[in-house]
């Protein structure tokens, strides 16, 4: 590892590479540099490690929050304490209700949140080494770690840009992250590709992506109203769009 300072542009280039957000040309150049520069390889490893430490810290915090939300299930509630808490519960509930009403998200985002369920994913099986990264990402996807899944799939898509499975699941991960913009181009091409096994599902998720993005005109134009699987839900959502 280089013991000297690391300037910001170099740091951000390494960060972009580690996070999988580097463009294909830049990535190719960077990887070429990696093959000949041991010091750069060490910096990449170090930064990957530090980012992992931060992610771990975030996970620990999230687990603590979930634990607090769910309670411990201990028999610790004393009757008096319970009565004491109950005195304030109605007031708190009222304040929360009013706050939630005032702070509620726009109608289109609420409709999206109400109807979006991420694709259950593909079965993960033992397979050839070529598929290992894909399968890792699929496990992450199934565990709800959509950002991780997407960051692992994106480099695979660069190598195989016409792979409809990758495009479909990357789009699905983006929607799960509430990021309709990067999902829409993938879903638009899949939704009009009759040779793709994902065509019908892509039309449904494209519809939801337009809803989430607030593009009511495009959402209304998605022709799923009479679809046996999605028609009822599509009609109900369209009826509630502004």
Partner 1 sequence: MRALYSTHLPAVKRYVLQNGGTGNDAQDMFQEAMTVLWMSVKEGRLVPDTDPGGFLYRVAKNKWLDVVRSAAHRHMKVVHDDRALDHGTDVVDDIEERIVRLRDVYDKLDDKCRKVLDQFYFERKDLATIAEGMGVEEESIRTIKYRCMMKLRAFRKAISGEDRNEA
Q: Which residues bind partner 1 (CB under 8 A)?
A: 1, 3, 5-6, 8, 11-12, 15, 19, 46-47, 49-64, 66-67, 69-70, 72-74, 124-127, 132-133, 135-136, 139-140, 143-145, 147-148, 177
Considering beta carbons, is residue 46 or 199 the nearer one to partner 1? Answer: 46
Considering beta carbons, is residue 1 or 95 the nearer one to partner 1? Answer: 1
Residue 126's SS3 state is coil
Considering beta carbons, is residue 19 or 199 the nearer one to partner 1? Answer: 19
Minimum CB–partner distance for residue 213 and partner 1 (Å): 16
CB distance 140 to 149 below 8 Å: yes
Minimum CB–partner distance for residue 8 and partner 1 (Å): 5
Contacts 24+ apart (CB under 8 A), 14-17: 14/40, 14/43, 14/44, 14/47, 15/47, 15/51, 17/44
Minimum CB–partner distance for residue 174 and partner 1 (Å): 11
Minimum CB–partner distance for residue 229 and partner 1 (Å): 24
Is the C-alpha dihedral spanning 49, 55, 59, 65 positive or negative? positive
Considering beta carbons, is residue 130 or 242 the nearer one to partner 1? Answer: 130
Two tokens, residue 53: 């430490």
Identify which of 158, 215, 162 has the alpha carbon closest to the alpha carbon of residue 184. 215
Length of the chain equals 242
Minimum CB–partner distance for residue 104 and partner 1 (Å): 19
Minimum CB–partner distance for residue 56 and partner 1 (Å): 5
CB distance 196 to 165 below 8 Å: no
Minimum CB–partner distance for residue 59 and partner 1 (Å): 6
Considering beta carbons, is residue 67 or 97 the nearer one to partner 1? Answer: 67
Q: How distant, in Å, are the alpha carbons of 99, 106, 107 from that of 103?
A: 6, 9, 12
Considering beta carbons, is residue 77 or 82 the nearer one to partner 1? Answer: 77
Spatial separation of the C-alpha atoms in residues 70 and 209, rounded to whole Å: 31
Considering beta carbons, is residue 64 or 235 the nearer one to partner 1? Answer: 64
């Amino acid at each position: 590892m280089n013991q000297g300072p690391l300037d910001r542009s170099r740091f951000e280039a390494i960060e972009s590479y580690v996070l999988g957000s580097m463009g294909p040309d830049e990535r190719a150049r960077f990887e070429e540099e990696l093959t000949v520069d041991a010091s750069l390889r060490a910096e990449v490893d170090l930064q990957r490690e530090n980012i992992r430490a931060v992610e771990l810290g975030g996970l620990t915090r999230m687990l603590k929050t979930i634990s607090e939300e769910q309670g411990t299930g201990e028999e610790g509630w004393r009757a008096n304490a319970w009565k004491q808490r109950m005195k304030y519960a109605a007031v708190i509930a009222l304040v929360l209700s009013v706050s939630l009403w005032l702070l509620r998200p726009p109608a289109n985002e609420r409709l999206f949140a109400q109807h979006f369920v991420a694709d259950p994913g593909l079965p993960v099986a033992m397979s050839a080494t070529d598929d290992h990264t894909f399968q890792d990402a699929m496990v992450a996807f199934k565990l709800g770690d959509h950002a991780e899944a997407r960051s692992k799939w994106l480099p695979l898509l660069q190598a195989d840009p016409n792979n409809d499975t990758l495009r479909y699941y990357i789009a699905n991960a983006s929607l799960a992250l509430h990021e309709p913009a990067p999902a829409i181009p993938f879903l638009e091409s899949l939704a009009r590709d009759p040779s793709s096994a994902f065509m019908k599902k892509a039309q449904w998720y494209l519809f939801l992506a337009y809803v989430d993005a607030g593009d009511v005109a495009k959402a209304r134009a998605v022709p799923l109203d009479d679809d046996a699987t999605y028609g009822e839900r599509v009609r109900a959502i369209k009826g509630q769009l502004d």
